[in-house]
């Protein structure tokens, strides 16, 4: 029994070591992570039209306001994010994110 545990431990360790990136490998500019997305709508990364709807920040979100934001921004997709709600971490420049506080008031509108 002890031999099998040792064999299993060695196999698992070898797998983890093989998955790591060698330290002496030089990285190219293409390996670096891209800059963080602009989620505030205050820059040139405005593929979702967030800049055009920044005046809605501070207002309570309603169905009618959400439709108006989607129409005016001309975003491909609109996602509403409430506090504590699970959300995917994929970055989609054409998606408009509307972040709410606990009272369903818009606290941020941005792309991503």
Contacts of 102 (CB under 8 A, 6+ apart): 83
Per-residue exposure over 2-18, b if at least 16 CB sit within 10 Å of its own CB, e if not: eeeeeeeeeeeeeeeee
Total tally of structural domains belonging to the chain: 1
Query: What pLDDT digit, counting tens, does each position of 21-78 carry?
Result: 454 444 444 455 544 444 443 444 689 999 999 999 999 999 999 999 999 999 989 9
Residue 8, in any domain of the structure: no
Residue 4, in any domain of the structure: no
Residue 20, in any domain of the structure: no
Q: Which residues face 4 on adjacent strands?
A: none
Residue 59, in any domain of the structure: yes
Residue 102, in any domain of the structure: yes
CA angle 48, 108, 88 (to 5 degrees): 65
Its pTM surpasses 0.85: no
C-alpha to C-alpha distance for 93 and 49, rounded to whole angstroms = 10
Q: Which residues face 108 on adjacent strands?
A: 99
Residue 75, in any domain of the structure: yes
Note down the domain range covering 62. 50-111
CATH number at residue 86: 3.30.10.10
Residue 58, in any domain of the structure: yes
């Amino acid at each position: 029994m002890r031999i099998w545990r040792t064999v299993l431990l060695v196999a698992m360790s070898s797998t983890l070591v093989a998955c790591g990136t060698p330290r002496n490998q030089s990285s190219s500019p293409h390996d670096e992570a891209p800059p963080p997305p602009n989620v505030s709508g205050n820059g040139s990364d405005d593929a979702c039209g967030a800049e055009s709807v920044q005046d809605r920040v501070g207002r309570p979100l309603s169905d009618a306001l959400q439709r108006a934001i989607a129409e005016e921004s001309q975003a491909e997709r609109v996602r509403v994010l409430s506090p504590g709600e699970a959300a995917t971490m994929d970055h989609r420049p054409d998606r408009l994110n509307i972040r709410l506080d606990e009272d369903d008031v818009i606290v941020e509108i941005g792309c991503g």
